[in-house]
Structure 1
């Protein structure tokens, strides 16, 4: 029997499937490249487009920028233009794509793509951070969210991981110094935390030790900072605490399941 894989599916897992079946499910849009696959040889869940075997199927070298602008196409509804696959993303030195603007926004919503990641299409001279690209400016995404197009509106209500308020103290380590912190919310994919250090930056990796809280046992996680926000009303008087959003890059599957059980119960 060949190698088998499990796929994430609304907080649970399904399978096992062969490599070919997983690809068929992605090509039929039953699953997406941003869904997670469990590989027993790795011993963890990995995003399909970052998996060493599956990434070969989605990783594409961007085409050379055309010398001349293409002829004007026939006018189409705005929502149709948002489905054209023309965007490439750069993660950890690898090109992925092409993706449509809708898929890019969905990845932003699901925190599998971040504002500091690089993006490119054939009409751009150079790679740029998502935050610097006009098409994905906050007002543009807000307009998509307020659209009457149900196909576009749906992506803003689909979360990969349910979130819930969560109170637990933290010990944070950045390979140099230990800090204290406090969890504010949690999901199987990451957490919102306050840390007594205002100088940490998005993209930075941290080791977090979560003390037990609200029914979730203590656990360790390697995380990556994905957002940073100063919120004075949440910081203790005289404190430099900052709210950080982190995604779990390494955490045990048993911990993910415990968090899913907790967040599901909170949502009920």
Structure 2
């Protein structure tokens, strides 16, 4: 049985700690529920909030008002304008120094939380929470998608990113690779079906693409063939879906949706070609 544990917080590996040490650091705020712990039993990093040995210690900080139950199908069918309008008045924009807000996240049938507003922003940046996930906090009457709340709108997040507060700046990462606009036609397949699409931007590490398939989810792997465009020759690359833009009113699996993909394996020469284009052409 594992007695010592390593944790990963803010891109730093810490430890080893006993499980009691980890509990104390959680209680003291030195660790966040969204930090990771390495479990020898699964040979992988797992979110602290998903580790059963720690889950009980995260339960005391529950909201005064019961978290509402939700029928995801009913919520997803509600008129977006009506839902967003009602939620906006209940989820007022928090100040950058607000730390006591208690947000809950609904992913499938599982509820996680409570989290502060900053922790939700951090999870959005780290792709642990997505625009299509549901969130709730008192006094909201129902769960709402992240994309439907003004407090999580791009303008609000950009305003935060421009803050001089060091604590806020830690929430945002700097892009590792330069990007450039890129308008290539492409073909995507997952070993079962094939879809057509186009690229919107590209870097040596990945791309923003739009394709006629609204059903893919972050974590899935697809094979993408980029056709020649903007000075780049055609190339093939295995990719992982890392982001998906929420689109209102989707009623068909063939509705065009924008995805962010990460290149898992790419030819070295092509990588250099993309890097050269991205660093020489303004994005």
Aligned to 2:250: none
Looking at structure 2, the residues matched to 148 and 11 of structure 1 have their Cα atoms a distance apart, in angstroms, of: 21
Separation (CA, whole Å) in 1 of partners of 2:260 and 2:121: 18
Gaps of 5+ in 2: 68-93, 180-186, 225-236, 247-255, 266-283
Question: Once superposed, what is the RMSD of the aligned Cα atoms?
Answer: 4.1
Contact 2:101/2:115 (<8 A) preserved: yes
Matched with 1:238 is none
Normalization by structure 2: what TM-score?
Answer: 0.57
Q: How does 1:104-143 map to 2 (within 5 A)?
A: 104-143=120-159
After superposition, what is the alpha-carbon deviation per residue over 1:38-76, rounded to whole angstroms, capped at 9, x for unaligned?
Answer: 10101211122233433343357654369xxxxxxxxxx
Q: In the alignment, which residue of structure 1 is the partner of 2:176?
A: 163
User: By how many angstroms is 1:28 displaced?
Assistant: 2.9
SS of 1:104's equivalent? helix
Residues 127-172 of structure 1 show CA distances to partners (whole Å, capped at 9, x for unaligned) of 111111122222222222223434333422x46xx73469xxxx97
Q: Specify whether residues 35 and 185 from structure 1 end up closer, same or farther in structure 2 by C-alpha distance, changes over 3 A only.
A: farther
Pairing 1:35–2:51 present: no
Task: Name the count of aligned residue pairs.
Answer: 209
Could you say which residue in structure 1 is the equivalent of 2:259? 244
In structure 1, stretches of 5+ residues that fail to align are 67-76, 211-218, 230-240, 256-268
Quote how far apart the aligned CAs of 1:198 are.
3.1
1:145 to 152, 161, 165: 161
Counterpart CA distance in 2 for 1:178 and 1:39 is: 37
TM-score of the superposition, structure 1-length normalised?
0.59
Deviations 1:182-206 (A, max 9, x none): 98444xxxx54658x4314463552
| SS at structure 2 position matched to 1:79 | coil
Q: Which residue of 1 aligns with 2:221?
A: 207
